[in-house]
Structure 1
Amino acid sequence: MERRTFIKAGAIGTAAAALASPAIAQDKRQWKMVTAWPKNLPGPGVAAQSLADRITTLSGGRIEVKLYASGELVPGPGVFDAVSEGTAELYHAVPAYWGSKSKGILLFGSQPFGLRADEQFGWLMHGGGQELYDEMYGRFGIKPFLCGNSGPQWGGWFRDEINSAQDLKGMKFRTTGLASEMMSKMGVAAQAMSGPDMFQGLQTGALDAGEFIGPWTDSALGFYQVAKNYYWPGVGEPSSAEECGVNGDVYAELPDDLKQAVSFACESLYNPVWTEYTTKHAISLQSMVNEQGVIVKKFPDDVISEMGKAAGEVIDELRQDEDELVKRITESFVSYRDSVGGYMTYADNGQMNARAQVLGY
């Protein structure tokens, strides 16, 4: 089966734009959005285009956002710097890609054994996370917003079966963010690369295994063609937040109503993106199992235990980081995780466990 290709969507003009008064026309801004994704990649590529369209719509056309996919204007790994330096006005990516800037950034996207999608948003909106997010990204001249989430990611695609934590040692494995720190502590050679590059790595043997997102996106990239063993749970990323970063000077000069339009475009997209991932992950997993021969496997208990020990070491190191802001971010995350996690024992976890007992009625 050939790997899926992604078709460039055409932009559609409106009659209203042509009828705009000179004063309104002069108030228009044309923004370049650079992304870390191939054009229209199911999941993040689709979400990026949705965000560009939503900002344009909610601003009444006063901000026209044109999307440039990875490599069209700058390489995917370069979108943070492009916005920081003013080459583009905004980007769509994930915080897990910016650990070289500061380890503290990584907590805003995903954390091993950390926050679920709803908890991640709750931390930022109601647990003090957004203020810390702003403070950290402000160092680089960027105003950050969460704008979506993949939900629980998967453990990864493995060419060979995993029977114990020992089997992971020396393995060449694609992952990013704090998950890569966790895996490295287990003796894994963690490597960061794009989804298409991960496919090539698995195909050529340069990689033994790797994780990207989840069934919807992973099936589109064709990983099942080169590795049939699909492992869960993805404890390295219980969720993965997508973000929009806007050049700080560009954002600051906006009138208040346009600042609100940008902010609400991001905030209002979080739940639709997350629930679309969840819905299409479920459909895609069933299709891969029934039609592509994918073998779904659970990580052995000792693998999960060793991952937990390694993740604890990663968090301990962040708590002792020489950067005072990284320490504050880490303590805020841990405090929120423990508080909400304790409640979830009775709430969501209780409901899911109860439902599993009677599933099939």
Structure 2
Amino acid sequence: MNRRRFVAGAPLAAAAATTLAAPAIAQTMPELRWRMASSFPKSLDTIYGAGEHVAKRVAALTDNKFQIRTFAAGEIVPAFGTVDAVQQGTIECAHTASYYFVGKDPTFAFDGTVPFGMNFRQLNAWLNAGGGHEVMREFFEGYNIVSLQAGNTGAQMGGWFRKEIRNVEDLKGLKFRIGGFAGNVIQKLGAVPQQIAGGDIYASLERGTIDAAEWIGPYDDEKLGFNRVAPFYYYPGWWEGGLNLSLHINKAKYDELPAIYKETLNSACRDATIETMAKYDAQNPPALRRLLANGTQLRPFPRDVMQACYRATFELYDETAAANPRFKKVYDHFKAFRDTQLQWFRVAENSYDSFVYLMQAQEQQAPAGGQPRR
């Protein structure tokens, strides 16, 4: 045996073995081509980008065997037509916010966000460790849909108004573009909710077809140009403490997937949730500074408005639960978890945050070289 030839050939043999192994594994994976309809405009690299992120991760993790092509709102399906398209199997999946479909059943809202509900971390805990996914899965089966968590915006702003909101009376007759269950709440207080897709809000606000509009927060709102047609920017968005975005998948198509592709989709969606939340947290602060520098007038909602909305919200929850057993089942589970979360966050998270915010404010007010006020 020629020892030199054996040693010299060893790396080549190893490389050959590696080359042969990869295709053997790849051959067991079917090639799939799916279409994903988004409910969001392509101009928003954050919320629309979350769907793109899922598609890119799925392709990367499957060596391009499983590819999902993403389409913006209106390209193949209207922004608010995605549930019907997924349910009927017209498309394999859609990236959307489930609360858009409360007109079909208000229970959809719990998969997105509800007024005075939970923030991102609390909702994430309910869905992934508190049984939320399980109770929602049963609901979605009635629509032939599997829903996966695929992004979050965090707490949102209260929207753009052409006129100031000074009290509850100012809500009466107000034509307000607002998403989800909150539309029912403000209607209870005399406002007129409008459901308008993100890409169409600016034109409606500019023409005066609507008096106010909420979308997400400074980064996206600046991109859509709302500050050019409405001067007053209100906070907080009491109806969106943390909007969960979802990938709706046709259940039959999902069930057909190999186990490795199902896990790939789940992994990509979890990654998109972290990525999207990070983008909003990084990009909203500088965007807000730019808006204020350009003349935006920042306003908190008056206390009596917040209190009236809070009371109307929980009255409406009780009324809806009494009339809709699907809503009641999810609401009871959701509210029990929310109550324990609020108790815990009030002790640890909120007390920590409140102290840090107070100290920062005092330091900013202290004279140069002086000590912050105690």
Per the normalisation by structure 1, the TM-score is 0.91
Identify the residue that residue 136 of structure 1 maps to in structure 2: 139
**Secondary structure, aligned partner of 2:240:** coil
Identify the residue that residue 200 of structure 2 maps to in structure 1: 197
1:309 has 2:323 as partner: no
Paired residues for 1:66-145 under 5 Å: 66-145=69-148
**Secondary structure, aligned partner of 1:77:** coil
1:343 has 2:344 as partner: yes
Letter of the 1:303 partner, please give it: V
**Secondary structure, aligned partner of 1:338:** helix
The answer on whether the counterparts of 1:156 and 1:232 sit within 8 Å (CA) in structure 2 is yes
C-alpha offsets along residues 178-225 of structure 1, whole Å, 9 cap, x if unaligned? 111111111000010012322111111111111111111111100001
Deviation at 1:356, TM superposition (A): 1.3
Distance 1:120 1:230 in 2: 26
The answer on whether the counterparts of 1:59 and 1:262 sit within 8 Å (CA) in structure 2 is no
Between structure 1 and structure 2, the one with the greater Rg is: 2
The answer on whether the counterparts of 2:235 and 2:299 sit within 8 Å (CA) in structure 1 is yes
Identify the residue that residue 222 of structure 2 maps to in structure 1: 219
Identify the residue that residue 261 of structure 1 maps to in structure 2: 264
The answer on whether the counterparts of 1:178 and 1:314 sit within 8 Å (CA) in structure 2 is no
Paired residues for 1:275-294 under 5 Å: 275-290=278-293, 292-294=294-296
Which residues of structure 2 form unaligned runs of 5+?
A: 1-18, 364-374
Distance 1:255 1:355 in 2: 48
C-alpha offsets along residues 217-274 of structure 1, whole Å, 9 cap, x if unaligned? 1111000010010000110111111100111111101111111111111122212211
1:328 has 2:329 as partner: yes
Deviation at 1:283, TM superposition (A): 1.5
Which residues of structure 1 form unaligned runs of 5+?
A: 1-15
Q: How many positions carry a matched residue from both structures?
A: 342
Identify the residue that residue 57 of structure 2 maps to in structure 1: 54
Deviation at 1:173, TM superposition (A): 0.4
Distance 1:40 1:54 in 2: 21
Letter of the 2:262 partner, please give it: K
**Secondary structure, aligned partner of 2:27:** helix
Deviation at 1:24, TM superposition (A): 3.0
Q: Relative to 1, partners in 2 of residues 1:260 and 1:163: Cα closer, same or farther, differing over 3 Å?
A: same
C-alpha offsets along residues 315-353 of structure 1, whole Å, 9 cap, x if unaligned? 11232133x222110001100100111111011111111
Q: CA RMSD in A?
A: 1.8
* Equivalent in 222, 228, 234 of residue 231 of structure 2: 228
Q: Relative to 1, partners in 2 of residues 1:122 and 1:138: Cα closer, same or farther, differing over 3 Å?
A: same
